[in-house]
Chain A
Amino acid sequence: MSVRHALLALLSEGPKYGLQLRQEFVARTGEVWPLNVGQVYTTLQRLERDGLVESDGEEDGPQKGFRITAEGEAELAEWLRTPPDLSSPPRDELVIKILIALRLPGVDVHEVLQSHRRYLVQLMQEWTRLKEYSAQRDLGFGLAVDAELFRLEAVVRWLDAAEGRIKRASEEPVDDQAVPLPKTPRKAVVRR
């Protein structure tokens, strides 16, 4: 989560105080991403140093006001349209665990898969309950919860697919050394 750009976005609506920025950030992200006041001030200092915001020159404190500069506006517009880097697979801890469980003697990989599946579905139940009881909350909250649910669901689906693949592989063993790996996609797909 880019706190830097979130603060620029809030300032693009008009000049604001530091404390106000923190409150608005927390409210707009549906309280899913808490932010402490120290983070707000260090980020504002860096933004000011980089010429993306200006302060009204008061001493540091809750009464110090900030406004966005033209450079800040340009930076915000650029950031909104820059895709996040999804081209290189993240080093996924769960994938690593399953790969290790598969090789380890005496470990039932299906049991390992299921324990992760149960945990993830339980987590999804909690998010869904939150969604159910917060129909009155704002749009931002609904969007953030949906994103979390889709992300977790994707992991559950991967576990399901992994289970099927492992099952099929155990039924008809193949020599996994025989097939050359295709080249991994290059990172250059996304311009940073």
Chain B
Amino acid sequence: MVYGEGPAEVHALRDVSLGVEEGELIAVMGPSGSGKSTLLTIAGTLEEPTNGEVLVAGTAVAGMSRDDRARLRRRSIGYVFQDFNLLAGLTAAENVSLPLELDGVPVRSAREQGLHALEELGLRDREGNFPDELSGGERQRVAIARAVVGQRKLLLADEPSGALDSANGEAVMRLIRAACQRGVAGVVVTHDAQLASWADRVLFLRDGRVVDQTSPAAGPESLLAPNP
């Protein structure tokens, strides 16, 4: 990914190849300016790479019309941001069902799917509350519900628990992981090793390149020494 031209050009990402399978959760770790967020906006089709391609569920995004791409974003991709990005004038349930309604799903069906997503995140009793009536942890759960509602295939999260305490941060990662186990492919970018450690694989980004990654663990049992 190159920004600017000639001497002013900035290579935000170079030679990055990232594949995420259904059911898999990947974390991308790197310092500020390493290209983490750029990677996420490209994966989410919010930006087009200067070179290279993005495939979602086997389809190349570059060949799509503007409308198709927007539809793909609404239907298949969910985003979770550090600051939740909920609409203040809508209730929790309305926030969650909004992407479906925008996509033309009939209101009643969108509402049902939204309530189902809230239920899975343990927020059924908060459906009628507005964002400012919810705690930080609850707001982020609503944002996750919105990101997984319907038939989403890809969940992208940028520092999803950055503003939360460690108990709520852990709860958020458990929910993202649970969503992946139901078949969503997940990518979390973070500089926080505790968050990253919830992923199946952790990629390390430096100056726009993936310099390293963890190999799948030998299994947690190896940590517990056998009893003598």
A interface, CB within 8 angstroms of B: 26, 31-32, 34-37, 110, 114, 117-118, 120-130, 132-133, 149-150, 152-153, 156-157, 160, 163-164
Q: Mark B200-216, 1 if CB is under 8 A from A, else 0.
A: 00101010000111110
A26-B227, A118-B213, A132-B198 known, 9 other contacts, Cβ within 8 Å: A34-B225, A36-B228, A121-B196, A121-B214, A124-B197, A125-B217, A130-B220, A157-B193, A160-B31
**Interface pair B202/A126, CB less than 8 Å apart:** no
Interface residues of B (CB under 8 A from A): 29, 31, 174, 177, 191-194, 196-199, 202, 204, 206, 211-215, 217-220, 222-228
Chief secondary structure at chain A's binding surface: helix
A92 to chain B, nearest CB (A): 18
User: By the criterion CB–CB under 8 Å, are A117 and B223 in contact?
Assistant: no
A to B CB contacts below 8 Å, 30 in the list: A31-B227, A32-B224, A34-B226, A34-B228, A35-B228, A37-B228, A114-B204, A114-B206, A114-B211, A117-B204, A118-B204, A118-B212, A118-B213, A118-B214, A121-B29, A121-B214, A122-B215, A124-B197, A125-B197, A125-B199, A125-B214, A128-B194, A129-B220, A130-B224, A132-B177, A133-B220, A150-B194, A153-B194, A160-B31, A164-B31
Cβ-defined contact, B174 with A132, below 8 A: yes
Residue of B at shortest CB range from A33?
Answer: B225
CA distance A132 to B177 in the complex (A): 10
A121 touching B202 by the CB < 8 A rule?
A: yes
Please name all residues of chain A whose beta carbon is closer than 8 Å to the beta carbon of B226 when the two chains form the complex: 34
Contacts of B211 in A (CB 8 A): 114
Chain B contacts for A152, CB-based, 8 A: 193
Known: A26-B227, A153-B193. A126 touches B204 (CB 8 A): no
CB-nearest residue of chain B to A152: B193
Q: How far is A128 from B179 in the complex, measured between Cα atoms in Å? A: 17
For B223, the chain A residues whose CB sits under 8 A away are 123, 126-127, 130
Our count of residue pairs bridging A and B at CB distance below 8 angstroms stands at 79
How far, in whole Å, are A121 and B27 apart by their CA atoms in the complex?
11
Given A26-B227, A34-B227, A156-B193, A126 and B212 touching (CB < 8 A)? no
- Distance (whole angstroms) from the CB of A124 to the closest CB of chain B: 4
Closest chain-B Cβ to A33's Cβ sits at a distance in Å of 9
> How distant is the Cα of A121 from the Cα of B201 in the complex, in angstroms?
10
Chain A residues contacting B215 (CB-CB under 8 Å) are: 122
- Among residues of A, the one whose C-beta sits closest to the C-beta of B202 is A121
Nearest CB to that of A146 among chain B residues? Answer: B166
Complex CA distance for A139 and B228, rounded to whole angstroms: 24
**B45 to chain A: closest CB distance in Å?**
28
Bound CA–CA A74/B172 (angstroms): 43
Q: Is the CB–CB distance between A114 and B220 below 8 Å?
A: no
**What is the chain A residue whose CB lies nearest that of B214?**
A122
Q: Which 8 A-B residue pairings sit nearest by Cβ, starting from the closest?
A: A124-B197, A130-B220, A36-B228, A128-B197, A156-B193, A129-B220, A122-B214, A125-B197
Contact, CB under 8 Å: A126 / B193: no
Q: Which B residues touch A156, using CB under 8 A?
A: 193
Measured in the bound complex, the distance between the Cα atoms of B226 and A128 in whole Å is 19
- B residues less than 8 Å from A133 (CB atoms): 220
- B174: which A residues are within 8 A, CB to CB? 132
B193: A residues at CB distance < 8 A: 120-121, 124, 152-153, 156-157
A124 touching B194, Cβ below 8 Å: yes
Contact present for B177 and A127 (CB under 8 Å): no
Chain A nearest CB from B212 CB (Å) reads: 5
Q: Which A residues touch B228, using CB under 8 A?
A: 34-37
Alpha-carbon separation in the docked complex, A31 to B29 (Å): 31
Among residues of A, the one whose C-beta sits closest to the C-beta of B221 is A130
CB atoms of A125 and B225 under 8 A apart: no
- Tell me the complex Cα distance, A144–B98, Å: 42
Residues of A within 8 A of B214 (CB): 118, 121-122, 125
